[in-house]
Amino acid sequence: MISGKTAVVLLSGGIDSAVASAIAQKTNHELFGLSFDYGQRHRFELEAAQKVARGLGLDKHVIFPLNLAQFGGSALLGSGEVPKGRTEREISSGIPVTYVPGRNLIFLAIAVAWAEILNADAVVIGAHTADYSGYPDCRPEFMDAFQRAANLATKAGTERRLIRIWPPLINMGKAEIIKTGAELGVDFSLTFSCYDPDAQGRACGLCDSCLIRKKGFEQAGMADPTIYQ
C-alpha cells in the first residue's frame, strides 16, 4: 500500500462491482470486499464474487449472511418468476419484479459500519443508471441522501471524518464500464451476471441482467466470455 487509503467495496460478482473495484485500486485504495448471502436465487454470483476478490488480490473478503428471503417480496428472492426475453423498452420501463426492497440501503448501511470500524475512507459501490434497470436505489440522488444519513449516523461523521459513499460508475453506460474494466485488466471471465442460471451455473442469456450484459459487450466491440445455456 502506497497511499494508506482504504475502502470497503460491495462485491456482487458482476461486472460493475469488479470494475468499480479496479478503479478504486487504480487510485491506490486497499480494498475490503463485502458480499451478501441474502437468499438470492442466483447464488452462483457468490462464487463469482469470491473469484473476483481473488482476481483483484483483495486482502479480505467477507460474505455476510443476511436472511432477507424470510420477508419475501422479490423475484430474486424466490417470490415469482424472473422475466425473460424482454425488449429494451420493457427493461427500461418502471421498476422490475427483480427489485429487492431496501437492498442497497441495507448493503450500504452494513458497509458503512464496517468502514467505520476499519477507519476506512470510502465505501465503493458499482451502482449506475445510464442503462437504467429501474432500481431506485441505484440513483445518484439516493447516493447523496444516503451519504448525508451515514454522516449523521456515525461517530466518524460527528468527528468530520468522511466515509465517502463512492459510486465511480454512476454516470457510465455498460459499454463504457466494460471498456474501462478491460483497460484496467479486469478478467470478465470471473464475473457472473445472470439472475436465473441453471443447476450447472450457466447463464440463461434471457433475463434483464444477461441482456444488458450481452448488449454492453456488443457495444464495446468485445467478446463476452460468459458460457450461456
Residues that bind a copy of itself (CB under 8 A): 62, 64-68, 70-73, 95, 99-106, 108-110, 112-114, 116-117, 136-137, 139, 141-142, 145-146, 148-155, 157-158
* 61 versus 179: smaller Cβ distance to a copy of itself: 61
At its nearest, how many Å lie between a copy of itself and the CB of residue 26? 26
Q: Which residue, 76 or 203, is less far from a copy of itself as judged by CB?
A: 76
Return contacts of 22-27, CB within 8 angstroms, 24+ apart: 22/56, 22/180, 22/181, 22/184, 22/185, 22/186, 23/124, 23/168, 23/169, 23/180, 23/184, 24/122, 24/124, 24/166, 24/168, 25/56, 25/184, 26/184, 27/3
State in angstroms the smallest separation of the CB of 157 from a copy of itself.
Answer: 7
Query: Smallest Cα–Cα separation from 42: which of 215, 196, 222?
Result: 196
Between 36 and 192, CB nearer to a copy of itself: 36
Alpha carbon distances (Å) from 218 to 148, 178, 213: 38, 10, 9
Q: How far is the CB of 111 from a copy of itself (least distance, A)?
A: 9
Residue 185 contacts residue 195 (beta carbons within 8 Å): no
Choose between 103 and 179: whose C-beta lies nearer to a copy of itself: 103
Task: Supply φ then ψ for residue 106, to 5 degrees.
Answer: -70, -45
CB of 85 to a copy of itself, least distance (A): 23
* Beta strands across the sheet bearing 122-124: 60-65, 29-37, 5-10, 122-124, 164-166
Q: Which is nearer to a copy of itself, 113 or 182 (CB)?
A: 113
CB 102, min distance to a copy of itself, A: 3
Measure the CA–CA gap between 139 and 152, rounded to whole angstroms. 20
To a copy of itself, the closest distance from the beta carbon of 76 in angstroms equals: 13
Residue type, 47: E
CA Rg value for the chain: 17
